[in-house]
């Protein structure tokens, strides 16, 4: 249901949707099931005018913003301000992890937003809609934060929804065509996570309201939704957004067995593909093989660290050996694999960074998995954020919290890594971004269009991925050797050498990008054309922007 399809509206919900924003779409569905006219508007940066047009067309009384990550605070604050300047008088509310865990700070940072829906939003948003013009009723709405004069009032949290099957199906938009004409949809079989990783706000988000840490929809409801999307909309690939789809518990393993049997009974097993996210200790060869026989085509692993000390800091409750074993099982089964990885955490040392580089070289050197990395960020409400605050190390604005390392040399090294690999790792047109899309395109081709050409496509992508991995790791190693041999003053004095490393990396990446262009031109012309169009649209990306030189010392130096 698009915003332009329904006028007039009672509520319009606005949020990012690289994948379908199921949280937002379930809230919209709950309101629609209770007789309200609603729509969901897919937001992209710079599209404030499109949001304004949707509001002017629908004239909703409630506009809800989905703030998935706290880094979006400033962007949605600017959007709300622009809408107010244009004369929009609707009630503005917002939701997401940060508004739920930091409601006061959220409304202080977003002066044009009237309220925040905390934790699960379906029933709270429904009650807010029902009493939108009666603020005297707001104190009785559980799970709400709202302005009260110059202060912010919060009501007690609403208990989590015990029976997820009681919710109406999420409102769906036009199915997303990922590539090769294949339609994909996001799915959610469960909410919550029983694990307590120190860096993750999922446990805090669901733990902030009364109820179990993890709830699962019935097998019947999940497969019924999949079958409906398959039959009605031609969806053949499903991306499960569950935080830990294959949770290692007796109850979840029974659920999985019933799920696989239900896929067989529904006639879907040999007609669809699907992707999941899970922990490394969830991965067993028999389980993954059974899922693979019913369409599982890709697995995203929460690896996070290849250092024993790093895994302890992150409270992963897993070992380096388990990380390597899970990756080895997926490779043995020829299962497409990607992983989340943090090269840096607040306790990083030169030695732990070395361990992480060595781990990535062992795990990804053959090109079976793409190597990428980020720095662990202290998200609001997490144990690691609280610890950094106690230690006086938490710094930066709410939208982009950060910390300095305990070793000044790593502040320089972290800045080098961020600037050198920012485009590669985090831009859709960077080498890792494009390789990731191409590798997923191959997953789809192998599932739905198998053949000798697809096999050759996979071999060439694996070879290029291996070279891209080694290039990054070699650059990281050379930079680490550089900082190991110097103190902070020596690093500052010899910065031109680091700048040279950055430019060498970028020049080598350009060559690999050209090779990727050639591979895509042979095996996936439509994807090649899509990338070319995006490059043309973003011609403003200059070489200088992709390879910035050091102009100043890093924070903490």
Q: Which backbone phi and psi does 76 adopt, to 5 degrees?
A: -75, -25
How crowded is the C-beta side of 24, counted as CA atoms within 13 Å?
30
Q: How many CA atoms lie within 13 Å of 237's alpha carbon, on the beta-carbon side? A: 22
Is 161 contained in some domain? no
pLDDT tens-place string over residues 91-112: 999 999 999 999 999 999 999 9
- Residue 283 to residues 44, 241, 273, 328, 337, Cα–Cα distance (Å): 35, 17, 18, 10, 12
Check residue 535 and give its pLDDT: 84
394 and 380 part of one domain: yes
The answer to whether position 52 is within a domain reads yes
Please tell me whether residues 59 and 143 are part of one structural domain: yes
pTM: 0.93
pLDDT of residue 547 exceeding 70, the answer is no
The answer to whether residue 384 is domain-embedded is yes
Domains in the chain: how many in total? 3
Kindly report the average pLDDT of the chain as a whole number: 93
Is pLDDT at 345 greater than 80 in this prediction? Answer: yes
Please check whether residue 348 lies inside any domain of the structure.
Answer: yes
Q: What is the pLDDT of residue 249?
A: 85
- Interval 246-251 mean pLDDT: 86
Q: Is the pLDDT of residue 557 over 70?
A: no
Q: Which residues are CB-neighbours of 552 under 8 A, at least 6 positions away?
A: none
Establish if 540 belongs to a structural domain. yes
On the 0-12 / 13-18 / 19+ scale of CB atoms within 10 A, 312 is middle
Write the CATH number for 324.
3.20.20.70
Distance CA 233, CA 97 (A): 31
Domain that holds residue 549: 406-557
Verify that 372 and 450 share a domain, yes or no. no
Residues 6+ positions from 67 with CB-CB distance below 8 Å: 73, 76, 94, 95, 96, 98, 99, 106
- Please identify, among 350, 373, 403, the residue that sits at the C-terminal boundary of a domain: 403
Kindly write down the DSSP assignment for every residue of 343-403, as one continuous string: EE-TT--HHHHHHHHHHHHHHHTTSSB----EE----TT-HHHHHHHHTT--BS-TTS-B-
Residues 397 and 410 in one domain: no
Residues 396, 432 within the same domain: no
446 part of a folded domain: yes
Which of 144, 156, 153 is CA-nearest to residue 209? Answer: 156
- State whether 411 and 397 are in the same domain: no
Degrees (nearest 5) of the Cα angle 365, 279, 166?
140
Q: Which of 373, 403, 433 is the last residue of a domain?
A: 403
Within a domain: residue 163?
Answer: no
**Sole residue written with tokens 């070879």:** 463
Does residue 166 sit within a domain? no
Find the DSSP H helices in 139-241.
202-207, 219-233
Strand, coil or helix: 138:
helix
Please write the tens of the pLDDT for every residue from 414-457.
Answer: 999 999 999 999 999 999 999 999 999 999 999 999 999 999 99
393 CB-contact burial (10 Å; exposed 0-12 / middle 13-18 / buried 19+): middle
Instruction: Return the structure tokens found at 108.
Output: 């202080």
Task: Work out the end-to-end distance of the chain between its first and last CA atoms, rounded to an integer number of angstroms.
Answer: 51
Kindly state the tokens that stand for 55.
Answer: 């509001």
Please tell me the predicted confidence (pLDDT) of residue 552: 40
373 pLDDT more than 50: yes
200 and 323 housed in the same domain: yes
Determine the pLDDT at residue 18. 84
Tell me the per-residue pLDDT of 496-536, one tens digit each, with 9 for 90 and over.
999 999 999 999 999 999 999 999 999 999 999 999 988 88
Residue 542: what pLDDT?
Answer: 43
H helical segments located in 71-200 = 73-85, 97-101, 103-109, 122-130
Is residue 411 domain-shared with residue 506, that is, in the same domain? yes
Q: Which of 403, 420, 442 is the last residue in one of the domains?
A: 403
* CB-CB contact of 4 with 54 (8 Å): yes
Q: In terms of domains, do 442 and 535 share one?
A: yes
Do residue 280 and residue 299 come from a single domain? yes
CB 152 within 8 A of CB 138: no
The pLDDT tens digits for 378-404 are 999 999 999 999 999 999 999 999 999
What is the side-by-side order of every strand in the sheet holding 296-304?
176-179, 182-187, 235-240, 273-278, 296-304, 336-344, 374-375
418 lies in the same domain as 503: yes
Task: Dig out the tokens for 176 from the structure.
Answer: 């997303």
- 139-163 mean pLDDT: 96
CATH number of the domain residue 77 falls in = 3.40.50.280
Q: Are residues 426 and 392 in the same domain?
A: no
- Output the CA torsion sign for 458, 460, 466, 471: negative
Residue 438's nearest CA partner among 530, 541, 533, 330 is: 530
């Amino acid at each position: 249901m698009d915003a332009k399809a329904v006028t007039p509206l009672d509520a319009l919900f606005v949020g990012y949707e690289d994948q379908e924003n199921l949280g937002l779409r379930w809230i919209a569905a709950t309101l629609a099931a209770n007789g309200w006219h609603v729509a969901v508007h897919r937001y992209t940066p710079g599209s404030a005018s499109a949001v304004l047009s949707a509001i002017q067309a629908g004239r909703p009384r409630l506009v809800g913003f989905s703030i998935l990550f706290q880094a979006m605070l400033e962007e949605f604050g600017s959007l709300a301000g622009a809408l107010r300047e244009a004369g929009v008088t609707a009630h503005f509310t917002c939701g997401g992890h940060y508004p739920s865990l930091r409601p006061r700070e959220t409304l202080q940072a977003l002066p044009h937003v009237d309220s925040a829906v905390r934790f699960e939003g379906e029933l709270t948003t429904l009650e807010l809609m029902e009493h939108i013009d009666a603020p005297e009723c707001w104190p009785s709405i559980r799970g709400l934060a709202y302005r009260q004069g110059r202060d912010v009032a919060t009501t007690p949290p609403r208990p989590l929804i015990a029976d997820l099957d009681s919710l109406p199906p999420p409102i769906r938009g036009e199915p997303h065509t990922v590539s090769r004409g294949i339609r994909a949809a996001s799915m959610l079989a469960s909410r919550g996570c029983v694990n307590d990783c120190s860096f993750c706000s999922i446990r805090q988000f669901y733990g902030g309201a009364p109820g179990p840490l993890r709830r699962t929809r019935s097998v019947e409801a999940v497969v019924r939704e999949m079958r409906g999307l398959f039959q009605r909309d031609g969806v053949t690939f499903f991306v499960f957004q569950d935080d830990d789809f294959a949770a290692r518990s007796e109850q979840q393993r029974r659920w999985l067995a019933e799920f696989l049997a239900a896929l067989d009974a529904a006639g879907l097993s040999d007609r669809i593909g699907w992707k999941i996210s899970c922990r490394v200790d969830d991965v067993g060869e028999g389980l993954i093989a059974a899922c693979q026989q019913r369409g599982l085509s890709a697995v995203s692993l929460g690896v996070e660290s290849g250092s024993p000390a790093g895994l302890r800091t992150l409270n992963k409750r897993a070992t380096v050996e388990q990380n390597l074993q899970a990756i080895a099982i997926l490779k043995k089964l020829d299962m497409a694999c990607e992983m989340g990885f943090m090269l840096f955490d607040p306790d990083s040392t030169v030695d732990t960074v070395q361990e992480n580089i060595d781990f990535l070289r062992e795990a990804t050197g053959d090109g079976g998995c793409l190597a990428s990395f980020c720095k662990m960020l202290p998200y609001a409400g997490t144990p690691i954020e609280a610890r950094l605050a106690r230690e006086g190390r938490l710094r930066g604005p709410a939208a982009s919290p950060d910390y300095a390392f305990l070793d000044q040399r790593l502040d320089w090294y972290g800045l080098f890594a961020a600037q050198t690999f920012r485009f590669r790792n985090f831009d859709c047109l960077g080498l890792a971004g494009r390789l990731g899309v191409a590798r997923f395109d191959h997953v789809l081709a192998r599932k739905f269009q198998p053949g000798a050409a697809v096999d050759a496509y996979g071999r060439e992508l694996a070879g290029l991925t291996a070279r891209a991995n080694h290039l990054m790791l070699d650059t990281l190693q050379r930079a680490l050797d550089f900082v190991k041999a110097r103190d902070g003053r020596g690093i500052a004095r010899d910065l031109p050498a680091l700048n040279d490393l950055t430019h060498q990396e970028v020049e080598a990446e350009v060559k690999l990008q050209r090779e990727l262009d050639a591979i895509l031109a042979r095996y996936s012309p439509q994807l090649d054309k899509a990338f070319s169009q995006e490059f043309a649209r973003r011609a403003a990306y200059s070489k200088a922007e992709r390879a910035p030189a050091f102009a100043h010392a890093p924070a903490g130096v």
